[in-house]
Structure formats: structure tokens, C-alpha cells
Structure 1
Amino acid sequence: MINEQHHIHFRAATLEDKAALLNLEQAVVDAERPYNSQIKADAHYYDLDNLLQSEQASVQMAECNNQIIATGYVQIRQSKQSLEHDLHGYLGFMFVSPEFRGQGLNQKITQRLIDWAESKGIFDFYLDVYNDNQAAINAYQKLGFKPSLLEMKVNTKK
């Protein structure tokens, strides 16, 4: 499935990867801007220092020719008190460089994240995806995710 000329290497991200990850964060922001016109021009989504150093999180990535081509994280979070599970894994920073899409990288990174969280006793997982991002929804459904809660918004400023 993966092109033979490209050797893909998966590993946990480290603080040394932060600069490259910040660049990819902007690629995520740019990819999501069409789904939400209110995203700030200088938006930052992730607290990378915390995610990269916390024992409650794992950032995974794929590299090709020493370039990060795919990312994702799982963070162990407190669940709503109305739920049966006390903790859950929240998945984010799910990104694959456009030229590497369709090769199963998102699935492999997601599985690495789930395996890490399961090793810590976490078996419930959540993520956010824009309602109009059908490609992402399809990818997550292939992994067994199902829609559970739809966030709705309105901007009343005219």
C-alpha cells in the first residue's frame, strides 16, 4: 500500500520535534479553516510542551526521509461524571501530509495511540471532527468511531 520508494518510520515525538510539529499544527489549522471561518489567523490548537512531556499523553508521528508526514496524540482526560468511565482518551492533532494520504498512515498512528492508552487502562476514546469534513469522518468510521454528540453554534454578530 505504501509506495516502495518511501520508507515510513513510526515513533513517539519528542521535544526535539517541537519546531516541526508547530509547522504541522499550522497545516491542521489551514485545513480546518474552510470548516470554520472564525478560526484566528494566528491560531494555535495544541499545548505541545505539555503533550510531549506529560505521562498522561502520547504524541505519535510518521517520518519519511527525516520529514514528519503524519501526527496524532492521545491524552488521558477526566470524563463527564454522568459517564460510566472515569477517564477517556482524547485524540487530536490527527494529520497526514496531502501527498501521503490514502496509505493508511492515520489508521496506523491511531492504533499506536489507542494501544498506548489501553496499556494505561483506557478503553474509551473521543475526538472532534467538523461535521462537513466528510473525508475525516469516513476515515474515523473505518476505525470504528461513531458520531456521538453534535456541537452546534451560532454567531449573532451582524
Structure 2
Amino acid sequence: MLNFRDANFNDKPKLLALEQALIEAERPFNKLTKVDATYHDLDALISVADTLFLVGEIDGQIVATGYVQIRASKTYLQHSHHGYLGFMYVVPQCRGQGLNKKLLEKLIVWGQERGIRDFYLEVYTQNNVAIKAYEKVGFTSSVVEMKLTL
């Protein structure tokens, strides 16, 4: 049975391993990713007040992660704050079971309870599986980041 709970400092070793699995899964989409890369400040995600960092467990094992963080929006937007979603990861053996959707729903509800109506996340344009999963929840593309490497 799937259980969601707040991430805590005791989870850090497993979260670090899952972060590395996420980085390895995304490395084909960005060849410039460092070998010793990290994406997140786990201590801050676990302890910052305007952040909900959840883990999903099955039989006591963490199989899914994700957070929502309330952030200030760009001044030209109508909304002053938004929810930023990150570290969205489900272990390969548990994919296709709707865990990511359930996790997203919990994170979004938490944000809505705090007055947030706009949510953003980042996904590589070539990561079609993730894009389709986010579109199922209602996300649409809004900006494409472009880069030039010389």
C-alpha cells in the first residue's frame, strides 16, 4: 500500500541515492551535466517553511519523491507567488501505477490551501514520457529555454 509522508533528515541517504538515479535518467537529455552533479539542497527542502517535500513509500521503502515550494513570481506576472514543483521521481519498478499523479495532486492541494493557483515545473523537451505524465494532470508548455554551447 502506498503511503505519502513528509521527508525528514533520516531519509537523506535514500534521497541522495534517488537524486543520483534521477540525474542519471536525465543525463541523456543534457550532456553538459557534471559527473558529480546534485540538483537539490535536501536540508533546505526538508526544513524550509514554504516547502512541502513528500516521499511515497510502499512497505517502508521510498519509491517516489517530490516537492512544492512557494516562490515569488516575476514582477510582470499577475500572480505574486507560484508553486514550483521539483524532484519528481518514481523508481522504475513502480512507474505506470499513477504514483506521480497522486503525488502531484497532494503537492498541488497543499499549495492551493496556501492561496497558490499557478504551478510550474521544469522538464527536458526530449523527455516525452514525463511531458505526457504532466499533461495528464493538466500542465501545458509555456516557455522553451534555448541554449547555445560554443
Q: TM-score range by the shorter chain?
A: over 0.9
Aligned residue identity for 2:103: I
Q: Deviations over 1:33-89 (max 9, x none)?
A: 000000000100001111100111011111112211001000111100000000000
TM-score (ref. length: structure 1):
0.93
Q: Where does residue 37 of structure 1 map in the other structure?
A: 31
Q: Where does residue 93 of structure 2 map in the other structure?
A: 99
Q: Where does residue 102 of structure 2 map in the other structure?
A: 108
2: CA distance, partners of 1:76 / 1:118: 10
Aligned mate of 2:7, from 13, 16, 29: 13
Q: Deviations over 1:85-139 (max 9, x none)?
A: 0000000000000010000000000011011111111110000000000000000
**2:58 matched to 1:58?**
no
2: CA distance, partners of 1:82 / 1:51: 27
Name the SS for the 1:110 alignment partner. Answer: helix
Aligned-residue sequence identity (percent) comes to 52
Question: How many residue pairs were aligned?
Answer: 150
1: CA distance, partners of 2:111 / 2:49: 11
Aligned mate of 1:134, from 121, 124, 128: 128
Q: Where does residue 125 of structure 1 map in the other structure?
A: 119
Question: Post-superposition, which runs of at least 4 consecutive aligned residues in structure 1 deviate over 4 A?
Answer: none
2: CA distance, partners of 1:15 / 1:149: 34
Q: Where does residue 145 of structure 1 map in the other structure?
A: 139
Aligned residue identity for 1:147: S
Structure 2, gaps ≥5 residues long = none
Structure 1, gaps ≥5 residues long = 1-6
Instruction: Give the aligned CA root-mean-square deviation in angstroms.
Output: 0.7
1: CA distance, partners of 2:3 / 2:106: 13
